[in-house]
Amino acid sequence: MSDACPVTVSVETGDFDVAADTARLCGGRHDIGAVASFIGLCRDEAGQLDALELEHYPGMAEDELKRIAGEAAARWPLLGVVIRHRYGVIAPGAQIVAVICASSHRAAALAATDFIMDFLKSRAPFWKKEHGRRGGDKGWVDARDADEAALARWHQG
Amino acid sequence: MRLVYFAWVRERIGRASEDIDLPADVRSVDDVIDFLVARGDDYAHAFAARKSIRAALDKAHVSSSTPIAGARELAFFPPMTGG
């Protein structure tokens, strides 16, 4: 499976470049017909957020992202997966996470990207803390029941 | 055994990790939580919403009934909020 589907995972403080990753993923091969990507950004809905601080479990975060990518590759005929997740202090508007899936056809690339994001949100060991604009610590972001519920649809059928 | 804590579990306990010699009758993840809660108020506070606490044994998710025998590292953390 890994021969057919190279998996790249990184957990770093620095930013990433999805265009460059996509070019690398497809470079030199002619069997890829579809690349789907998702980018998650740091969102400030009410103008109250100074920054998000992302904590992670070093080692397990990378392992879990690789495991999720492997599950996707076992489920769809993928030709490459890239998952990048940042940690540390991230300003509103900045990138937090990217998932890129390549396949021969669109349906597999789109579904695998969706699947990876669903599992990433509830299974990859990252935690977000909000820092308020007035310097106040707004506290840890609560997990959403909807995120856990989103996993259920992948268990059916 | 090395215990590691993340996010508000870490903040409530007041440390990121510690090495603890667990008694022989502490056999499962649940037993470790019982043992820690009996150690003091900070631990009791961290595990007050016990059902929401997640555990990982040697960096793999486990349920609270999982035996800890042979494992080196046990982590406790809140539900994850990445992505």
ipTM of the complex: 0.96
Mutation site, A140, A142, A144, A145, interface B, largest B CB count within 10 A: A140
Residues 69-88 of A with CB under 8 A from B: 85
A106-123 helix and A60-75 helix, angle to the nearest 10 degrees: 150
For residue A153, give the H/E element and its range.
helix A145-155
For B30, counting Cβ atoms within 10 Å of its Cβ (0-12 exposed, 13-18 middle, 19+ buried), the class is middle
CATH of domain B2-77: 3.10.20.30
Domain boundaries, chain A: 7-151
Predicted pLDDT of residue B9: 98
Q: What is the three-state SS of B23-57? A: CCCCCEHHHHHHHHHCCCHHHHHHCCCHHHCEEEE
Instruction: Dump pLDDT digits (tens) for B42-68.
Output: 999 999 999 999 999 999 999 999 999
Query: For residues B72 and A134, which has the higher predicted lDDT (pLDDT)?
Result: B72
Domain boundaries, chain B: 2-77
Predicted pLDDT of residue A88: 98
pLDDT by position in tens, chain A (length 157)? 446 799 999 999 999 999 999 999 999 999 999 999 999 999 997 888 999 999 999 999 999 999 999 999 999 999 999 999 999 999 999 999 999 999 999 999 999 999 999 999 999 999 999 998 877 777 999 998 888 888 988 986 5
Predicted pLDDT of residue A3: 60
Residue pair A73/A6 in contact by the 8 Å Cβ criterion: no
Q: Does domain A7-151 have CATH number 3.90.1170.40?
A: yes
To the nearest whole angstrom, how far is the Cα of A75 from the nearest Cα of chain B? 21
Q: Which residues contact A127 (CB under 8 A, 6 or more apart)?
A: A54, A55, A56, A140, A141, B6, B7, B77, B78, B80, B81, B82
pTM: 0.94
Predicted pLDDT of residue A2: 47
- Nearest 5 degrees, angle CA A147-CA A121-CA A113? 100
Contacts of B59 in chain A (CB under 8 A): 57, 59-60, 63
